[in-house]
Amino acid sequence: MIAHAPRQRPAPWQISKQSAVRKWMMPFIAFEWVWEWIAFLLSNWSFLAALEYLGTFSVLIAVIFYFSESGDRIKQRHYQAWQVINTAQGKGGSGGRIEALQELNADKVPLVGVDVSSAFLQGLNLKGANLMRSDFSSADLRNSNLMAVDFTFANLNSANLRNAALDHARLAQADLRDADLAGSSLVDADLSGAILDDADLRNADLKAIAWRDLKSIARANIAGVRNVPAGFVEWAKGKGAVDRPDAAE
């Protein structure tokens, strides 16, 4: 902030010019003396002080409006994110959906029923997302962070979840037919009522999974599964699961 305090009256020219010890300095001293007088006159002009206060006040008003409209900006951002997701529905590629989904989830927006089937979403981070009844069928979710997500009643048919993190995920009643879960981590995942027919579970981490209420696991490949709960392998094979380490990708 500029302080418009009244300045001292400059010395008369007859006195100021005496400071020139060399003749060549006279133009510079004269130039300085003229501007000293201009500064003196302006410092006593109340209009400039009023302008400064008005400028400060306008900044304050702008700040107030900025914060008062923050809710509308958030809504607009969410609307744009949903628009990106919905306009790309059923299409391959990413189409900006990775960023849109992550932004909505970061703002704690439920993603219930979202349809991103066939999308390329490799490396997606939706930790803790609400994805109930969502459609991720045939989506590429390799190396994604899906820890603690709620996939209840979700369609993950033919989804590529290779090396994905699904620790503590709720996959109750989820359709995981023909899903690629090779190398994925399903620690403490709830698979109650899930369908895993033809799924690839090779080398998946199944520590502490809730498996006893699995609906179906026919022809699922369980070769090399790690940290398997007691009784799971025998039960799975009894339901039609296979152990084929060298099966085609």
Tell me: do 46 and 145 sit in the same domain. no
Measured distance CA(236)–CA(20) in Å, rounded = 103
- The answer as to whether 74 is a domain residue is no
pTM: 0.71
DSSP per-residue letters across 14-66: HHHGGG-SSGGGHHHHHHHHHHHHHHHHHHT-HHHHHHHHHHHHHHHHHHHHH
Amino acid 32 reads E
- The answer as to whether 83 is a domain residue is no
Tell me: do 166 and 240 sit in the same domain. yes
Do the Cβ atoms of 10 and 40 come closer than 8 Å? yes
Tell me: do 122 and 202 sit in the same domain. yes
Tell me: do 19 and 99 sit in the same domain. no
Alpha-carbon separation of residue 56 from 43, 189, 210, 220 (angstroms): 18, 57, 62, 69
- The answer as to whether 82 is a domain residue is no
Per-residue pLDDT of the chain in tens (249 residues, 90 and over written 9): 455 556 677 777 777 767 766 777 777 777 777 777 777 666 666 665 666 666 666 676 666 655 665 566 788 899 999 999 999 888 888 889 999 999 999 999 999 999 999 999 999 999 999 999 999 999 999 999 999 999 999 999 999 999 999 999 999 999 999 999 999 999 999 999 999 999 999 999 999 999 999 999 999 999 999 999 999 999 999 999 999 998 765
Count of structural domains within the chain: 2
- The answer as to whether 190 is a domain residue is yes
- The answer as to whether 73 is a domain residue is no
Residue-number span of the structural domain to which 146 is assigned: 93-249
- The answer as to whether 199 is a domain residue is yes
Tell me: do 171 and 100 sit in the same domain. yes
Tell me: do 175 and 229 sit in the same domain. yes
